[in-house]
Amino acid sequence: MASGNDFDLIVVGGGSGGVRAARMAAGTGARVAIAEEYRYGGTCVIRGCVPKKLLSYAAHFREDFEDAAGFGWTVEGARFDWARLIADKDKEIDRLEGIYERLLKDAGVTSYRGHARLLDTHRVEIGDQVFRAETILIATGGHPIFPPGHGWDLGISSNEAFHLKSLPGRVAVYGGGYIAVEFASIFNGMGAEVTQIYRGPQILRGFDDDVRDTLAGELVTKGIDLRVETMIDRLEKHGDGVRLHLSDGEILEVDVVMAATGRRPNTENLGLAAAGVAVGEKGEIKVDAYSRTSQKNIYAIGDVTDRLALTPVAIQEAMAFVDTVYRGTPRSMDHSDVPTAVFSMPTVSTVGLTELQARQAYGDVDIYRSTFRPLKHTLSGRDEKTMMKLIVDRATQKVVGAHMVGLDAPEIIQGVGIAIKAGATKQIFDATVGIHPTAAEEFVTMREPVAQPVKKAAE
Ligand code: NDP
């Protein structure tokens, strides 16, 4: 290692990617420091995946209690206490943050609390100290952004949604992406009156068309007032709530309005210009396949690079970085066929190509689709459908996409993701015996392709 360095590696940002990289690099014998200005765990643990899923479980109980009646149960006196849920959730997040800190300590990583700024390609200022490192890894994540428009100081983002003092009675959620549908489902499940407002023709742009249509239908069935092709032009204070002026001329009064209109990389005030690190249009750090920036000793991983903003992706990028720089086995992360899920109600999960992408990539494709009422809902009486879909390249019979909307979709698609990653053909799916009675077995029992051509794929 070069002499005169305080550390071999300084990691800026203590989220999922940064912490994993720091620990693993330290495990190879490197002298590693990490700087975090807020809380260890980053978006996923502190104000993302983990607390979101806890709220999502909480929201599901309303339906669970209702469904129980179909199975002979009488549930009396069920009441929901938002403040208790938030307090318990915060306790769990504190516990997880503690685990992250302990893992770093046990791995021999030196932690610094404070904002880090690059002074040049090797020196990093953290608070009032300056350190020099051979290699720098930036893993600062991203933050939610509000749309342009008047009055958004009256709105909240997902960050604040986790800390509301009480469950709002009327909520508007603006956006049609992951966060918008997840929070619309959470608030709706907990009993709030929810309006979801989205500028485009259908929510979840970029997902398979059948997924989008199915989920939108289910959200509406569950009571979410979904307004597509609608914008929020202006917000104004109205009593304790907010008045929304919509692009169709309607005025909507709500207690809370939440923007879920995208996220931006955290690259402000990081000293990137001083270090000569190139950024793109959204402020994202530009990297090559090995997560190397425009400076050869500076790397970046995770949301700050605006590749795939998913925790497990950041973690794999971290592992690839450590293999490349510290284990002498350079490798890039494979960003294809990454399974993903939306924790809406019902859940969505998907891996591989959408129908449109598959048609563009392969030309002729076979589509297998099944829509059914899950066994559970025959007795519960709930009007909730499950939709499953496989996309197969006709020439090779390789399964190139799997999509599901319904109960436990993420738990099911994780396994299908392995098959797709392994290049399984439809014949291998067919040769796999189903587990009965499950919804998952449908993925290995769909025999008849849907008649072609299927309906127009979405943009
Ligand atoms: P997304 O990019 O998924 O969605 C943003 C939404 O806001 C889109 O519907 C977009 O519309 C809309 N929008 C953007 N700008 C404006 C504007 N100016 N006015 C009105 N509407 C606007 O972002 P999210 O914030 O939901 O999530 C960010 C990322 O975080 C996700 O892409 C995902 O990678 C990750 N994530 C993953 C989760 C998971 O794995 N379960 C959960 C949450 C987040 P349009 O479609 O027209 O562009």
**Domains in the chain: boundaries:** 7-143+264-326, 152-261, 346-444
Buried b (16+ CB within 10 A) or exposed e, 385-400: bbbbbbbbbeeeebbb
CB 22 within 8 Å of CB 34: yes
Task: Please tell me the predicted confidence (pLDDT) of residue 264.
Answer: 97
- Ligand 1 centroid vs 371 CA: distance in angstroms? 27
Ligand 1 center from residue 261 Cα (angstroms):
5
Ligand 1 proximity of 340 Cβ (cutoff 6 Å): yes
Yes or no: say if 46 and 59 are a contact pair by the CB < 8 Å rule: no
pLDDT of residue 2: 44
Number of other CB atoms surrounding residue 128 within 10 Å: 6
Rounded CA separation 124/277 (Å): 14
Query: How many whole angstroms from 445 Cα to the centroid of ligand 1?
Result: 34
Mutate to test the pocket of ligand 1, among 56, 146, 160, 178 (most ligand atoms within 8 A of CB): 178
**The domain over range 7-143+264-326 is classified in CATH as 3.50.50.60:** yes
436 is catalytic: yes
Which pLDDT value is given to residue 1? 44
* Cα–Cα separations (whole angstroms), residue 115 to 72, 255, 318: 57, 35, 21
161 in Cβ contact with 258 (< 8 Å): yes
And the tokens for 207? Answer: 């997902």
State residue 150's pLDDT score: 86
DSSP string, 141-171: -EEE-PPSSBTGGG-B-HHHHTT-SS--SEE
Rg of the chain in Å (alpha carbons): 24
CB distance 219 to 184 below 8 Å: yes
For residues 191 and 214, the answer to whether their CB atoms sit within 8 Å is: no
> What separation in Å is there between the alpha carbon of 9 and the centre of ligand 1?
33
The residues near 221 (Cβ < 8 Å, ≥ 6 apart) are 383, 384
235 and 242 in contact (C-beta within 8 Å)? yes
CATH code of the region 346-444? 3.30.390.30
CA nearest neighbour of 226 among 201, 191, 244, 261: 201
The reply to whether ligand 1 has any atom less than 6 angstroms from the CB of 197 is no
Angstrom distance (rounded) from CA 186 to CA 347:
12
CA-to-CA dists, residue 156 to 173, 242, 328, angstroms: 10, 11, 46
The structure tokens 């420091």 sit at: 33
Closest CA to 343 of 30, 85, 49, 40: 49
Q: For ligand 1, atom 25, which residue shows the shortest CA distance?
A: 262
Ligand 1 pocket, residue 47 CB under 6 Å: no
Q: Residue 320 in contact with residue 333, Cβ under 8 Å?
A: yes
Write phi, then psi, for 311 (nearest 5 degrees). Answer: -55, -50
- CB distance 176 to ligand 1 below 6 Å: yes
Ligand 1 and 314: CB distance under 6 A: no
341 lines ligand 1 (CB under 6 A): yes
For residue 164, give the amino acid letter. L
Do 152-261 and 7-143+264-326 have the same topology in CATH? Answer: yes
Ligand 1 in reach of 247 Cβ (< 6 A)? no
Q: Which CATH number fits domain 152-261: 1.10.760.10, 3.20.20.140, 3.50.50.60, 1.20.1300.10?
A: 3.50.50.60
- Give the distance (Å) from ligand 1 centre to CA of residue 121: 33
For ligand 1, pick from 56, 145, 179 the residue to mutate: most ligand atoms within 8 Å of CB.
Answer: 179
Residue whose Cα lies nearest atom 23 of ligand 1: it is 262
H helical segments located in 80-239: 82-106, 158-161, 178-190, 209-221
The Cα 25–Cα 13 span in angstroms is 15
| Residue nearest atom 48 in ligand 1 by C-alpha distance | 205
Give the pLDDT confidence score for residue 455 in this predicted structure. Answer: 54
- Residue 203: both structure tokens together: 């929510």
Instruction: Give the mean pLDDT per block of 10 residues along the chain (459 residues).
Output: 81 98 98 97 97 98 97 96 97 97 98 97 97 98 94 97 97 98 98 98 98 98 98 96 97 98 97 98 97 98 98 98 98 97 98 98 97 96 97 98 98 98 98 98 97 58
Give 8's contacts (C-beta < 8 A, 6+ positions apart).
1, 25, 30, 31, 32, 133, 134, 135
Q: Is the CB of 142 under 6 A from ligand 1?
A: no
Q: Give, in order, the Cα–Cα distances in Å from 66 to each of 53, 69, 72, 435.
A: 21, 6, 11, 27
Q: Return the ligand 1 atom nearest residue 206 CA.
A: 46
Asked if residue 175 has its Cβ within 6 Å of ligand 1, the reply is yes
3-state helix, strand, coil in the chain (%, to 5): 35, 25, 40
Per the CB < 8 A criterion, the answer to whether 391 and 416 are in contact is no
Name the closest-CA residue to atom 30, ligand 1. 309
Dist CA 365 CA 400 (whole Å): 9
